[in-house]
Amino acid sequence: MSAIITSPSLASVNIGILGLGVVGSSTVNILKENYDELLRRTGYDIVIKKAAVRNLEKSRICSIEGITLTDNVYDVIQDPEIDIIIELIGGIELSKEYVLEAISQGKHIVTANKALIATHGDKIFSYAHDQNVIVAFEAAVAGGIPIIKILREGLVGNKIKSIVGILNGTGNFILTKMQNEGVAFINALGDAQRLGYAEADPTADIEGIDTAQKLSILSSIAFGTSLRYADVYIEGISHIKHIDLLCAKNLGYTIKHLAYAERNDINIELRVYPALIANTHALAKIDGVTNGVLINANAVGRTVYYGDGAGGLPTASAVIADLIDVIRTTAVHPKNRVPSLSFQPASLINYTVNSIEKAIFSYYLRFLITDPANAITTNINIIAAKYGIKLFESKNMSNLIDTDNLSTVVITDKTTERLMNLFILELQNNYNFTDDNIIKLRICDHGC
Amino acid sequence: MSAIITSPSLASVNIGILGLGVVGSSTVNILKENYDELLRRTGYDIVIKKAAVRNLEKSRICSIEGITLTDNVYDVIQDPEIDIIIELIGGIELSKEYVLEAISQGKHIVTANKALIATHGDKIFSYAHDQNVIVAFEAAVAGGIPIIKILREGLVGNKIKSIVGILNGTGNFILTKMQNEGVAFINALGDAQRLGYAEADPTADIEGIDTAQKLSILSSIAFGTSLRYADVYIEGISHIKHIDLLCAKNLGYTIKHLAYAERNDINIELRVYPALIANTHALAKIDGVTNGVLINANAVGRTVYYGDGAGGLPTASAVIADLIDVIRTTAVHPKNRVPSLSFQPASLINYTVNSIEKAIFSYYLRFLITDPANAITTNINIIAAKYGIKLFESKNMSNLIDTDNLSTVVITDKTTERLMNLFILELQNNYNFTDDNIIKLRICDHGC
C-alpha cells in the first residue's frame, strides 16, 4: 500500500485525531477558526473526519460538529478514507502501537509526543521510511516556535555547533516565580499545578526528563545522529533554593534549567542541568512558561528563537503547520522529502556522547554552614588547591538570608566536572556535609 | 520547456551564480565548507557550474576551483545544463531583466534581492507560476534568520495579527552606537561605513527604504496581500539626536527604527519609523547589526526571532537554505508547492493600507528652546487642549545636555497622528519652530 497522494488536484484531505484533550481541542478549534485562511494558503479543504476519545460522554472544549467520535482508536487509524493521523494522546507504549499500526495502514503521522519520538523515534522513522509515509513532530519541541523546521530546513546550509535551550515551560515558570516572588520551590510548583502548567506528577518536568527528550530530538536533527535520549546527562531543579536565585542575582546571574548540546570534532555533549547564566545572556530574560533556543551555527552565527513553549494553542499551531507540510509533501517522491532527522537513514553518524566528567565549567558553590566557626572557611582553599581548583573571593551573601544559617557562596575558576566532584566529596567526608548542605551549580558563560 | 526536475533519482544539481561579491563568495565558501553535511542531509551533489562577475581579473575571496567564470550574465542564465540561478548582483531593473530571462529559460531562482522582490515581486512570481519554476527569496529579509520560512510554513496554521521588526542592521548599528557611546548620528554613520556595514550612499538604509522593502515582503506573506511597498509610510532616522536617546533612556525607553505591519478587520497598517520602545520590550535589547522580529499570531501568541541580519555568511546561510528547498521541491507538482507569498495567485486579498493620519499613538516631543523665557512653556498646554491632546509632566532633561539650549521633553496621551501634526503645525507657526527644533517620535507600547 502506498500512502503517496499522487493526485495534485486533490482538493480535500481527511484527517483523524487521537485524543481531544487540551491540544486536540485547540487543534480542532484553530482548524475551524482559521479555515478560510488555511484554504486560501494551501488550497486544501481539511476535513476532520474522526476523533478517538477515552470517554464519549465527556463535555468538550471544542466544537465536534461534523466529527465522528469513537472510543476505539482503531476505528480511526484503520479507516481507509483517512489520510493523516494526528496523535495527541501522549504516553509511550500505547502510542507507539497506534502509530506503528497507522503507518502500516499507509497513514501519515503528525504527533506532539516528544517522549514517543525520543524513545522510539528511530524505529518509527525507519518503518515510516519503508512505508513511504511522513512522520511530523514539530509540536514535540518548544510548542509554537517552529524550531524543528528552523533547524532542519531554515539552517540546513549550516554546520550546527551548539544548541542551548530553555525547553520546559513548567520548570521555567517555577524558577521565575521563585526568583521574582521569593517563594520556595515547593510553593512555586504548587502554583504551577494550580494554573495547569504542571501535572499531578511533575517528575518529568522538574527532573529534566521532558527537557532531555526534547534535547535529544534537537541534537539528533542538528548533528545527524540517531536519537540519543538515554545518553543525556540529566539534573533536575528541585534542589534549587530561593537563596541560590538571590545569590546568583547578586552576582549578576540568573538560574535557568538549560538543555545543552554541542558537537566538537569527534564527539557530542548532551546535558540538562540548572545553570547560572549572566543577565546579559540571550536566554536570561526568557521568563515564565516561555521557551527559548539559542543556536550557534557556522554560517549564520548565533540566532535566537522564543515564544510560548506549551499550552493548547501554541502546540496546535505546530500541529497544524506539520499537517500542512504533510499535505504539501505527499506529492513529493520520498527521496526528495525533508528527512525526519535531517540525515539519510543509511548514514547515521556514530558520535560518542561525552561523559560529563570530562566537561569543564566554572562553578557556583554554596555551603550551608550551621556553625559559623566551622573549620571549612579556613581550610577550603587548601583542599581546593589539592585538586588544582582556584576559588574566587565571593560576595558575602549572609545578608540575603533570614535564617540563622550562614550561606557561603564561592565562584570557582574553570575545572573539570571530575575534579570538582572529588573536591566536593572530600568536603563532604571531612565536614559531614550532606547533599543538601552543598549546592553545586555550573556557570554557563560563552555559548554555555 | 518544463523546469520540473521529475527524476527523483537525480543525484546532482547544477547551479549558476550571478555576482561573486561578499554574499556570492560566502555562498561559494559555505557550499564548499559544508559540502559533506549538505550531501548527507539532502542526498544531492550541488555543483557550482558557472558564475557571472563584472570583472574577470578581480581577485576573489572564495575559491573558484571548478567554477567557470564569465562576464556575460547570459552565458549563465541561458546555459541549458544549469538548473538553478542564484541572483546576487542587487539593483532593480537589470536584475529584473536577468531573472525574467532565467525564468523564461525554465530556471528556478534563488535571490537575496529585497528591492527587486518588493518592487517587481508580483510580476516575477506570476511569471514563475506560469513557467512552473520556483522563486525563493529567504535571504531578502533578515539575513540568516529564516523568517520567511517561519511565517510561510512554521506559522501557517495561524492568522497573523501583527509584525514588529528591526530589519536594517546598519540603522540599528548607528542607533546603538549613538546610545552607547554618545556619538552624533553623522559620526556613527561614518563608523558604519568604515566597518563596511553602510554603503557609500547610505540613503536606503538610514531613510527606511530598505526596511520598508523588507516589511512589504513580510506583510504580503503574513496577510496574503500583493506586495505593497509603495504604500508603506516611511520615516528615516537621520534626524535623531543623541539627546533623544538620552532622554528616552531617562524615561525607561530605547529608540529603535521599527518596521510595523498590522491587520485589523478590513485594513492593514504598514509603517517604518523610529519609535520609543520600553526597555522591557522584546526588541529593546536587539543591538548592533542584529535583526529581530516579533510576530503576534492568533494561535501561537507572540514569538520572537533574532540573529545577524546581514553580512556575507548569514545571507549565504539563507541562500543555501533556499537552494536546498528548491532542490527538494522540484519534484513537487506546482500546486503542492509552498506559494511564493503564501497565497493562491487567483485570490489576492485587497486590503486597503490605512493612512498613518488615522493611527493612534502616544508621542515623545522634544522642543529645542533657545530662549528659556520662550512663551511656549506657558502656552503649550493651552494649545494642546485645543486639539484634545493631554501632555504629561515630563522629567526635566536639561541636565542631560551640555549646550546652552534647553530641551523640553513632553510625553503625550494617546491621540491621532492627524491631531498631533496639527498641534505641531500651530506650534511651528506661532513660535517660529523649524523641523529641527521640534522632534516628534512615536511610542510603541503594547504590540507597537
The answer to whether B117 contacts chain A (CB < 8 Å) is no
Chain B residues within an 8 Å CB radius of A41? 156, 224, 339, 342-344
Quick check: helix, strand or coil at residue A11?
Answer: coil
DSSP label at A225? B
- Average pLDDT score over residue span B346-370: 79
Q: Which of A301, A305, A343 is closest, CB to CB, to B41? A: A343
Task: List every span in chain A annotated with CATH 3.30.360.10.
Answer: 155-308
**Is there a contact between B172 and B146 (Cβ–Cβ < 8 Å)?**
no
Distance CA B151, CA B295 (A): 9
Q: In the predicted model, is pLDDT for residue B171 greater than 50? A: yes
Phi-psi label, residue B342: left if phi above 0, alpha if psi -120 to 50, beta otherwise:
left
Task: List every span in chain A annotated with CATH 3.30.70.260.
Answer: 356-444
The answer to whether A144 contacts chain B (CB < 8 Å) is yes
**Interchain pair B303, A144: CB under 8 A:** yes
User: Which of A2, A26, A41, A306 best probes binding to B when mutated, by most B CB atoms within 10 angstroms?
Assistant: A41
User: Which of B10, B335, B338, B344 best probes binding to A when mutated, by most A CB atoms within 10 angstroms?
Assistant: B335
pLDDT band at B9 (very low <50, low <70, confident <90, very high): very low
How does the average pLDDT of chain A come out, rounded?
88
The answer to whether B138 contacts chain A (CB < 8 Å) is yes
The predicted structure's pLDDT at residue B445: 77
Task: List every span in chain A annotated with CATH 3.40.50.720.
Answer: 12-144+313-347
**Interchain pair B144, A26: CB under 8 A:** no
Which one is the CATH code of A12-144+313-347: 3.40.390.10, 2.170.190.11, 3.40.50.720, 3.40.50.1100?
Answer: 3.40.50.720
Look up residue A20 and give its three cell numbers. Answer: 481531544
Distance CA A245, CA A364 (A): 11
Measuring CA to CA, which residue among A218, A222, A193 is closest to residue A205? A193
- Average pLDDT score over residue span B291-315: 94
CA atoms within 13 A on the CB side of B96: 16
Measuring CA to CA, which residue among B366, B361, B385, B351 is closest to residue B442? B361
The predicted structure's pLDDT at residue A436: 75
Distance CA B204, CA B115 (A): 10
pLDDT band at B348 (very low <50, low <70, confident <90, very high): low
DSSP label at B355? P
**Is there a contact between B211 and B140 (Cβ–Cβ < 8 Å)?**
no
The predicted structure's pLDDT at residue B198: 83
Chain A residues within an 8 Å CB radius of B34? 157-159, 298-299
Collect the ranges in chain A with pLDDT lower than 50: 1-10, 344-347, 402, 404
Chain segment B396-407, per-residue pLDDT in tens: 555 555 454 567
Chain segment B406-434, per-residue pLDDT in tens: 677 888 999 999 999 999 999 888 877 77
Domain A155-308 top-level CATH class: alpha beta
Distance CA B366, CA A14 (A): 60
Q: Which of B40, B335, B337 is closest, CB to CB, to A224? A: B40
**Is there a contact between A299 and A158 (Cβ–Cβ < 8 Å)?**
yes
Domain B153-308 top-level CATH class: alpha beta
**Interchain pair B156, A321: CB under 8 A:** yes
**Interchain pair B154, A143: CB under 8 A:** no
The answer to whether A35 contacts chain B (CB < 8 Å) is no
Chain segment A363-372, per-residue pLDDT in tens: 999 887 665 5
The predicted structure's pLDDT at residue B6: 40
Note if B214 is an active site residue.
yes
A274 class by beta-carbon count within 10 Å (0-12 exposed, 13-18 middle, 19+ buried) = buried
User: Residue B257 is which amino acid?
Assistant: H
**Interchain pair B299, A307: CB under 8 A:** no
The predicted structure's pLDDT at residue A1: 32
Chain B residues within an 8 Å CB radius of A313? 299-301
Distance between first and last Cα of chain A: 48
For B39-65, b/e burial (b = at least 16 CB within 10 A) is: ebbbbbebebbbbbbeeeeeeeebeee
Which one is the CATH code of B356-444: 1.10.8.60, 3.30.70.260, 3.20.20.140, 3.20.20.70?
Answer: 3.30.70.260
Phi-psi label, residue B132: left if phi above 0, alpha if psi -120 to 50, beta otherwise:
left
Query: B 157-176 residues with CB below 8 A of A?
Result: 157-159
The architecture that CATH gives domain B12-144+313-342 is: 3-Layer(aba) Sandwich (3.40)
Rounded to two decimals, the pTM is: 0.90
- Average pLDDT score over residue span B345-368: 79
